[in-house]
Amino acid sequence: MLIFKILRRAEWDAFRRDGATSGAPIDVADGYIHFSTAEQVAATAAKHFATESDLVLVAVEAARLGPELKWEASRGGALFPHLYRRLAIADVVWDKSLPLGATGHIFPEGVL
């Protein structure tokens, strides 16, 4: 199962340069990296990145993240994947631009 992380372009560039990331500032503050499932990612983009256009959608295979991936209740009681370790660039299955269109973010085909 793929899970998704939305990163700002500068965060993605630093992640690629460094080979690993602790996530965005909110992730660092919370002590884990926030991910979303395919069913959750559009709402995450709308809630946390509504006006941001230079974003990158990163796909990760949940099963490869090991026991540090926890499924925890969050928005509305839904279970969200949270990673309690740094994310390595080797964990990334693919990355795609996530542009902002007139009615919201435009997700890559097959994600939603």
Q: What is the pLDDT of residues 22-76, one digit of tens each?
A: 999 999 999 999 999 999 999 999 999 999 999 999 999 999 999 999 999 987 8
Give the residue-averaged pLDDT of 72-94: 95
Model pLDDT, residue 74: 84
Given a cut of 80, whether residue 89 has pLDDT beyond it is: yes
The per-residue b/e assignment along 24-47, b for 16 or more CB within 10 angstroms, e otherwise, is beebeeeebbbbbbeebbbebbee
Per-residue confidence at 98, pLDDT binned at 50, 70, 90?
very high
Which one, of 11, 25, 20, 22, lies nearest residue 54 by Cα? 11
Domains by residue range for the chain, with CATH? 2-101 (3.20.170.20)
Average confidence score pLDDT of the chain: 96
Give the residue-averaged pLDDT of 15-19: 98
